[in-house]
Amino acid sequence: MGIGNDAVEIRAQGWRRLAALHGLIEAALEKELQAAHRLSVVEYTVLDALSRQDGWHMRMQQLARAAALSSSATTRLVTRLEDRGLLTRVLCADDRRGIYTELTPAGQQLLDQARPTHDRALEESLTHAEKLPELESLVAALHVT
């Protein structure tokens, strides 16, 4: 049980804290976004990532990475959002395998409505987490640019 094991244990503890904080925040966001806009956290993440491209397209795999999802899950997620009229698939001319997605006005509008909900829920859960001794320092690290 020397110095090496201590490092291992510190890493494991850090990971447990990270997972705990992540779970806390995600649960809060999920609840609020679902209740107010019928959006899941991943769905919001995708819309947000698209809007961050500012009117520009994103390929499916970029979306997959942004949402930390498999490509199959991304396919169905995009289908879901497309069925709700929030985004559209655009075939790309240069590479006909590739598919671009872009926000529709309705998608942009829903995102505009959902963003305050998201930001408020995020702030609340961070404030809550900050009070838990084992999460305090990790929350502080998020404020750092």
Does the footprint of a copy of itself cover residue 141 (CB under 8 A)? yes
For residue 78, the minimal CB distance to a copy of itself (Å) is 18
Task: Report d(CA 29, CA 114) in Å as an integer.
Answer: 11
Q: Which stretch binds a copy of itself (CB under 8 A): 20-28, 32-40, 54-62, 98-106?
A: 20-28
Contacts with DNA, 68-107, as mask; x by CB under 7 A: xxxxxxxxxxxxx--------x-----xxxxx--------
∠ CA 5-8-13, rounded to 5°: 125
Binds a copy of itself (CB under 8 A): choice among 36, 60, 132, 138: 138
Residue 140 exposure: Cα atoms within 13 Å on the Cβ side: 7
Please provide the DSSP assignment of 38-96 as one string: S--HHHHHHHHHHHHTTT--EEHHHHHHHHT--HHHHHHHHHHHHHTTSEEEEE-SS-T
Task: Report d(CA 8, CA 5) in Å as an integer.
Answer: 5
Decide: 43 and 78 in contact? Cβ < 8 Å. no
Residue 144 identity (one-letter amino acid): V
Q: Which stretch binds a copy of itself (CB under 8 A): 15-23, 56-64, 87-95, 105-113?
A: 15-23
| Nearest CB to a copy of itself, comparing residues 96 and 131 | 131
Does the footprint of DNA cover residue 36 (CB under 7 A)? no
Which residues bind to DNA, rule: CB under 7 A?
A: 30-31, 40, 42, 59-61, 68-80, 89, 95-99
Which residues bind to a copy of itself, rule: CB under 8 A?
A: 8, 10-12, 14-15, 17-27, 45, 68, 118-119, 122-123, 126, 137-138, 140-145
